[in-house]
Amino acid sequence: MNGIWAVIPVKELEGAKQRLAGFLSPEERHALAITMMEEVLAALAGATRLAGVALVTLEARAVAIARRQGWRVIEVGARDGHTGSVDGGRRVLAAEGVAGILTLPIDIPATTPAEIDAAVAAHGASPAFTIVPAHDEQGSNTVIVSPPLGVKLRFGDNSYFPHLEAARTAGLAPLIVRQPGIAMDIDHPVDLAAFLRLPQSHGTRTRALLEAMGVPGRLEEAGI
């Protein structure tokens, strides 16, 4: 199996986005998580440079989308957090001979197929490591690594610079690619404000949902 496969962790969405608690109700957070996931998966479906897509998940909505798209569903590591899910998926694919993997989160609803394709196109010949940082240069919003197990990965709020160091430790010069849609992850109320200011958010279902919930006004009232 050649080419770059997407390995996408999708945790169960009930109770998602806890860091928005206090600003959005549980029902609003659930609706937001579902909408963002669907937009990211739609962007992946439109990308043309991926050899395949595998969702690491037990979430029924994600499984249904995967089945419709003809994607792989991997359960190994699905309840082991973001890093554990990515590791589970890439171990499965590495054992099958996949050349490399791309991973990204499901809370970057402004991303587009063109951004994903551009990141894959920029990735060098194996062995190689490519990263698209979050807008605050804390998170690692897209990582591409070939071979799939070539660099130790650990995701979290402060993973970008540690991932650069992990690539160098593995003997690779990390390639940094910047994409505004991929960079805009949504975890905190300030991220909602930044997303709404992003030109690329216009026309997204996530923006329409936030506007329908009155989030722009709430952000203004909160001084965010």
Q: Is residue 22 part of a domain?
A: yes
Pairing label, strands 52-57, 72-74: parallel
3-state secondary structure (DSSP) of residue 126: coil
CA distance 60 to 44: 18
Q: Is residue 99 part of a domain?
A: yes
Q: For residue 14, what pLDDT is reported?
A: 87
Q: What is the DSSP letter of 96?
A: T
pLDDT tens digits along 38-54? 999 999 999 999 999 99
* Average confidence (pLDDT) over 115-125: 97
Domain count, the chain: 1
Q: For residue 30, what pLDDT is reported?
A: 96
Average predicted confidence (pLDDT) for the chain = 96
CATH code assigned at 109: 3.90.550.10
Q: Grade residue 149 by pLDDT with cuts at 50, 70 and 90.
A: very high
Q: Is residue 137 part of a domain?
A: yes
Pairing label, strands 140-146, 72-74: unpaired
Structural domain boundaries enclosing 20: 4-216
Q: Grade residue 58 by pLDDT with cuts at 50, 70 and 90.
A: very high
Question: 131 pairs with which residues across the strands?
Answer: 143, 176
Q: Grade residue 213 by pLDDT with cuts at 50, 70 and 90.
A: very high
pLDDT over 90 (residue 139) = yes
Q: Is residue 222 part of a domain?
A: no
CA distance 58 to 120: 27
Continuous segment of H or E residues that includes residue 196: helix 189-197
pLDDT over 80 (residue 2) = no
Report yes or no: 102 and 153 within 8 Å, Cβ to Cβ.
no
Helix axes 26-46, 60-69, angle to 10 degrees: 20
Q: Is residue 221 part of a domain?
A: no
pLDDT over 80 (residue 144) = yes
Q: Is residue 224 part of a domain?
A: no
Share above pLDDT 70 across residues of the chain, in percent, rounded to a whole number: 99
Q: Grade residue 157 by pLDDT with cuts at 50, 70 and 90.
A: confident
CA distance 41 to 43: 5
CA distance 182 to 201: 11
Q: Is residue 72 part of a domain?
A: yes
Q: For residue 15, what pLDDT is reported?
A: 84
Q: Is residue 131 part of a domain?
A: yes
Other C-beta atoms within 10 Å of 169: how many?
A: 10
pLDDT over 60 (residue 1) = no
